[in-house]
């Protein structure tokens, strides 16, 4: 009977230890990385259901921006976002860092959508980010 209890405790302990994730896996899980869709274009998936409403009804149209403008703003905004993430600031809003390479050519659609993610977070949660233009920081 003692051997059975000991065996049960050891097996539960091993299951518990194997279920624990290591810090490397947590870091990998907490980073948003751009990915290419089936057409070979860079894509960004936003799960929040109100984001589509924001994009279609509130955000400025894509024609209002140039790709170079968006790339410059996104480079700054991603750096700001990642600094908030690494410092733990706004922990209730920022749950992951963003893997963004300013040298990569993502395309205007991706750059626009990423920029609008920052504008959306400002609109919905009131998070002030220095990289947003004045007209994109107003709450509607």
Nearby residues of 20 by Cβ (< 8 Å), 6 or more positions away: none
**First and final CA of the chain: distance in angstroms?**
69
pTM: 0.74
Q: Mean pLDDT: which of 19-23, 33-37, 59-63, 88-92 is highest?
A: 59-63
pLDDT tens, residue by residue, 29-74 = 455 667 788 787 888 888 888 999 999 999 999 999 999 999 999 9
Backbone angles phi, psi at 42, to 5 degrees: -70, 140
Token reading at 38: 């089936």
């Amino acid at each position: 009977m003692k051997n059975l209890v000991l065996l049960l405790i050891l097996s539960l302990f091993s299951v518990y230890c194997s279920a624990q994730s290591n810090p490397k896996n947590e870091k990998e899980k907490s980073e948003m990385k751009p990915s290419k869709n089936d057409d070979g274009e860079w894509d960004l998936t936003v799960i929040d259901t109100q984001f589509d409403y924001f994009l279609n009804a509130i955000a400025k149209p894509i024609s209002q921006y140039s790709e170079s403008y968006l790339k410059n703003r996104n480079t700054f905004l991603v750096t700001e976002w990642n600094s908030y993430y690494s410092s733990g600031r706004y922990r209730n809003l920022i749950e992951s860092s963003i893997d963004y390479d300013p040298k990569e050519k993502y395309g205007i659609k991706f750059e626009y959508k990423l920029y609008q993610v920052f504008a959306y977070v400002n609109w919905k949660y009131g998070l002030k980010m220095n990289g947003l233009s004045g007209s994109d920081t107003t709450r509607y």
